[in-house]
Amino acid sequence: MKALIPILVMVLFFLPKTNANEYKQLGRYTNVSITPTQQQLNPLLVVVDFEFPPQITKVGEALKLLIAPSGYRFSLSDNDISYILFEMPLPEIHKKLGVMTLDDAIKTLSGSGFTPVYDEGLRLLSFKSSSKSINTVNVALYKKSWLRNKTAITPIANNYKKIVTYTVKSGDSISKILINLGIGYNPKIINHIVDTNPSAFINNNPNHLISGSVIGVPLS
């Protein structure tokens, strides 16, 4: 019996230490972690499995749809080279990304010619490039094309004083969202939502919302 004592001591010595502050007891037999996950602390580490709808044909459209649930948004200067990336056609192999972190998905879509730059404090995303060919391109032409596109970043001007953001869930419809927000069915507001959130709909059809999209809903 005495010979077992050193072995037991060694086993206990190497048991991993637990931090009492990481768990909270709920009920008699249930302990839950009260420590935020790495993904909650850094949304770029969230694992995504994205397949873009057929109407997404440009890299910028795909990026905008990809980052919407994360809270990140584009940060663009007047002559930002990001406009060049946005107007590039989305490669067929990128239309279904597969399982990867959001950071890796952004890097995959931007390709080897561009490097994502994150402002984690303000959750802003921009791109830079060390390519001489990219940096000598006339950005204005790409910017004009992008802003003319239905997925332009600049929101359409409106007369509503208060806009709230809403993340579309599976099974949502515009009328259901408006009712849940206490607005009720309103064709004028529905048209406004479609016009100002084109990337959230398939072919601009108000009945075909894309799950995971973040839309702006006017309250007044």
CATH number of 163-218: 3.10.350
pLDDT digits (tens, 9 = 90+) for 30-88: 666 677 888 888 989 988 887 887 778 899 988 988 888 888 888 888 888 999 999 99
DSSP state for residue 62 in the 8-state scheme? H
Question: ∠ CA 101-66-125 to the nearest 5 degrees?
Answer: 85
Phi, psi of 209 (to 5 degrees): -80, 145
- From the list 151, 150, 168, 111, the residue with the least C-alpha distance to 134 is 111
In contact, 89 and 58? CB cutoff 8 Å? yes
Where are the extended beta strands (E) located within 6-129? 23-26, 30-33, 47-51, 73-74, 96-101, 115-119, 124-128
Residue 20 has what pLDDT? 44
Find how far residue 68's CA is from the centre of its chain.
Answer: 3
Contact indicator for 200, 184 with CB cutoff of 8 Å:
no
- Whether the pLDDT of residue 13 is over 70: the answer is no
Give percent of the chain with pLDDT exceeding 90.
21
> Which range, 15-29, 58-72, 159-173, is most confident?
58-72
CATH class assigned to 43-148: alpha beta
- Number of residues assigned to the chain: 220
Q: Where in the chain is the domain with CATH 3.55.50?
A: 43-148
